[in-house]
Amino acid sequence: MRIELEISKCIGSGSCEMLAPNVFEVGNDGLAKLLDASPGSDMESEVRAAEESCPTQAIKVEH
């Protein structure tokens, strides 16, 4: 699994960090940061939930 995060679309809602805290973190600047661009398959459900919850569609998950 590969994750892409378009920072230019991020509004800092924090839903990604809430749903997948081992993969995403909202920094001091209020924007999401990608902690792991290639998490294991055990994280797929959390990462997919984060992708679906992002209000600006800044997260893209590919296999």
**Per the structure, how many domains does the chain have?**
1
Above 90 in pLDDT, residue 3?
A: yes
Above 90 in pLDDT, residue 63?
A: no
pLDDT value at residue 19: 98
pLDDT value at residue 53: 97
- Residue range(s) defining the domain that contains residue 8: 2-62
E-assigned strands of the chain? 2-5, 24-26, 32-34, 59-62
pLDDT tens-digit map of 8-58: 999 999 999 999 999 999 999 999 999 999 999 999 999 999 999 999 999
Structure tokens at 49: 């939930």
Look up the CATH number of the domain holding residue 9. Answer: 3.30.70.20
How far the first Cα of the chain sits from its last, in Å, is 4
Structure tokens at 38: 């290639």
Under 8 Å between Cβ of 8 and 19: no
- What pTM did the predictor assign? 0.92
